[in-house]
Structure 1
Amino acid sequence: MSLSIPGQLERWRMMLGEAAENSCGKLSEQAQAADAALEWLYGRDTERAERDERNAGLGPSALSTPDWINHIHTLFPREVIERLEQDAVERFGIDEVVTNLEVLERIEPSESLLRAVLHTKHLMNPQVLAAARKLVAEVVRRIMEKLQTEVRQAFSGTRDRRRRSNMKIASNFDFKKTLTDNLHRWHPERQRLYVEKPVFISRSQRHTQPWDIVLLIDQSGSMVDSVIHSAVMAACLWNLPGMRTRLVAFDTAVVDLTADVADPVELLMKVQLGGGTDIARAVGYAQGLLSNPGRSVVVLVSDFYEGSSEHELVRRVKALVESGCKVLGLAALDSKADPVYDRDMAQRLVAAGAQVGAMTPGELAAWLAEKLQA
């Protein structure tokens, strides 16, 4: 189908709805199809619906998602199609969009698309799944690039100004000492300080004995953002010296994913989102992994909505703390980094000796580095 550009009156009619038809005239056949496609998507906007008196005849139920994808590819130019597909996923959560191979191969990778892939990967045929895996890999690479820097900075050790270092890297640069040692090279006429020899300081290592880190990740459907960042966090921690990292996903069952920690893409593609939640069972599994509780940290990433025995959950957390293990309850964060969790249960876990917080992955790395000081 050749694309024709709607006239000015047709554009106003499409913007204002059927109420403007008497003033703007009827839409052409192609414009009606475009109007139906736009209504299928933006008719879901609740704020717009409250102020819009348009009929629902061309609303969301008029087209299936695959039909809508095919329609917009014949009705709109490429830049409009990409915007519609982005809004479908990011604004309205229409995850089925990402099961279309052409969309996956063209659309810009983003965390919202990654979430959609994790929700719908079980619906994908092998060809679509292969394209989805590439998208996952690209998004993970971007997250890991940022998070790995934060993790390594947190665990690189405290700065020791008493010792000089031959490691001439920015994080070891001693600005004050460099300034003091080179003041005699100040040029008053040029208003410049000429540095002959920059000073770098050494770092003292925080860790002398290995620590066991167990990440317990709630994989219920509402936890997708936390699952993504936990997988990348585990991969970042995996190669740090003096640490043994385990990653365990759970809903009503417990799955040890440690074998895939080094490959967060593979790990995420194995996660099965949805189902109930048995946090107590996961904590019990973590207890069985610890050979030296005094050198162990259990990080429970969850919204703390326990679907099994709340009493048993509190009892097991208390037993972990009493054994010498550090227990951090990491409250679930949504896509905007806002905490979403059962505050009553969180308070009960605090009373049992756990520490509960809502923090980003980078803040979690800093917390771990602080708690694991030898």
Structure 2
Amino acid sequence: MVLGGGGADGTGCELRGQDAAMDGALAALYGQGEGGRGKGGAGSGGGKRSAGLGASAPGVARWLGDIRTYFPSSVVQVMQRDAIDRLGLSAMLLEPEMLTAVEADVHLVGILLSLNKVMPETTKETARAVVRKVVEQLEKRLTARTRATLTGALDRSARISRPRHRDIDWDRTIRANLKNYLPEYRTVVPERLIGYGRAAQSVKKDVVLCIDQSGSMAASVVYASVFGAVLASMRAIDTRLVVFDTAVVDLTDQLDDPVDVLFGTQLGGGTDINRALAYCQSRISRPTETVVVLISDLYEGGIRDEMLKRVAAMKASGVQFVTLLALSDEGAPAYDRDHAAALAALGAPAFACTPDLFPEVMAAAIEKRPLPVPDTAERR
């Protein structure tokens, strides 16, 4: 579609009706009038635009309502992010009437969390409702598959060679003993029984999620908090969730509600990975049954050599160590390549992971098999 303005912007086709309204909504954001700051987009034609979002929350709320009417949700989310970046709307998101008009997504949650400490009390409940809506959508999308994938991995990791009769895995036992088939008796003589422990007997694995809460990791913090709550709901996994910048905060006691976890974070600030790993290391009591997941872009502000020594020591003790440069759908992240290469040299490849891949990564770590590392990862 070619969008024009009042003077048709040199296209010779003046827009009317809904097309004109759509163009007005785009011009308010991307035009060269009072609201637009960018040089490109719909407002870069020959006609001068007068549309703009101005500085009032009601005006922006009306604009948000307009774009939700004219454009699909995926486009609305892009325009919202552009409005926040181009027009400085972060302060306006602190007002309740604005929040009720916004199309909620992971990126908006990140913005609200970054504004949490300066948010008026009158807005906090509305903000929590917006965050809870997004969290519930993510839980609906991710929970069932995560639980199914990890339950299977836990069962497989607990298989034993001398199982009791009721714990025999007959399918795997038969496949493993097909060479012992006796045609005259039409049966298999099992030389080796394969079984698995009963899933509800005890905690089988300890998982530590160590999450960088610097501003660039906002989407990863959201997804990791949801996954943390899912893992904590599984009786066979003892889950600990730790967030850090230059300080370290243990949010494990809030894992029953990921919204509480998210509002316990403080996006922004520096990064001290070494300090965070030192805390996590001090909480490990069963290293051979522990998976540590570090989610960070690896821009370390602490002591680099100490950080690497801690990772090496954890791996030497039997800990399964996973490094995720991002846990999001945002594509290739920015990260410290030198630190990523150093971790890879220790046998801890660093890679970005989508939420849909995360259950497979965790299943591989639990079973102590090679991780499904993308081709673009930093590896040895």
- Same fold, TM-score > 0.5, yes or no: yes
Pairs within 5 Å for 1:114-193: 114-157=109-152, 162=170
Give 1:338's match in structure 2, choosing from 332, 339, 358. Answer: 332
How many Å apart are 1:117 and its aligned residue? 1.8
Report 1:1-374 matches (<5 A): 12-14=4-6, 16=8, 39-43=27-31, 44-48=37-41, 51-52=44-45, 63-64=54-55, 66=57, 68-69=59-60, 72=63, 79=69, 86=77, 88-94=79-85, 95-96=89-90, 97-157=92-152, 162=170, 204=196, 210-333=204-327, 335-373=329-367
Q: What is the CA–CA distance in structure 2 between the aligned matches of 1:369 and 1:311, rounded to whole Å? A: 30
* Cα RMSD after superposing both structures: 3.8
Comparing 264-273 with 305-314, greater Cα deviation is found at 305-314
Does the CA contact (< 8 Å) of 1:13 and 1:20 recur in 2? no
Looking at structure 1, the residues matched to 118 and 339 of structure 2 have their Cα atoms a distance apart, in angstroms, of 35
Structure 2 unmatched ranges of 5 or more: 15-21, 32-36, 157-167, 173-194, 369-380
Tell me the alpha carbon deviations over residues 163-192 of structure 1, each in whole angstroms, 9 at most, x when there is no partner: 59xxxxxxxxxxxxxxxxxxxxxxxxxxxx
Measure, in 2, the Cα distance between the counterparts of 1:295 and 1:49. Answer: 56
Summarize the Cα distance change of 1:350–1:130 in structure 2 as closer, same or farther, 3 Å threshold: same
Contact 1:89–1:112, Cα closer than 8 Å, also in 2? no
Change (3 A) 1:46 1:123: farther
Paired residue secondary structure (2:147): helix
Q: Which structure 1 residue ranges, 5 or more long, are not aligned?
A: 1-10, 25-33, 165-202
Q: Distance between the aligned counterparts of 1:101 and 1:66, measured in 2? A: 9
SS at match of 1:332: strand
Q: Deviations over 1:276-304 (max 9, x none)?
A: 11111111111111112122111000011
SS across alignment from 1:146: helix
Distance 1:15 1:260 in 2: 57
SS in 1 for 2:243: strand
Alpha-carbon deviation of 1:239? 1.9
Asked whether the equivalents of residues 294 and 322 of structure 2 are also in contact (C-alpha less than 8 Å), the reply is: yes
Shift of 1:38: 5.5
Contact 1:214/1:247 (CA < 8 Å) preserved in 2? Answer: yes
Alpha-carbon distance between aligned partners in 2 of 1:77 and 1:91, rounded to the nearest angstrom = 13
Q: Counterpart of 2:131 in structure 1: which amino acid?
A: V
Alpha carbons of structure 1 residues 15 and 79: separation in structure 2 relative to 1, 3 Å: farther
The one-letter amino acid of 2:359's match is: A
Question: Deviation at 1:99?
Answer: 2.3
The alpha-carbon deviation at position 115 of structure 1 amounts to 2.5
TM-score (norm 1): 0.71
Q: Which amino acid aligns with 1:89?
A: Q
Deviation at 1:215, TM superposition (A): 0.5
Query: CA offset at residue 139 of structure 1?
Result: 0.8
Would you say how many aligned residue pairs link Structure 1 and Structure 2? 316
Q: Displacement of 1:257 after TM fit?
A: 0.7
8 A contact 1:105–1:131 mirrored in 2 = yes
Aligned residues with identical type, % of pairs: 34
Q: Is the 8 A contact 2:26 2:42 kept in 1?
A: no
- Between 1:334-343 and 1:36-45, the stretch displaced more is 36-45
Is the Cα–Cα contact under 8 Å of residues 298 and 335 in structure 2 kept in the other structure? yes
Q: What SS class does the counterpart of residue 110 from structure 2 fall into?
A: helix
Superimposed CA distance per residue, residues 216-236 of structure 1 (whole angstroms, 9 cap, x where no aligned partner): 000000001100000000000
Give the TM-score, by structure 2 length. 0.70
Alignment partners' CA distance in 1, 2:364 and 2:241: 21
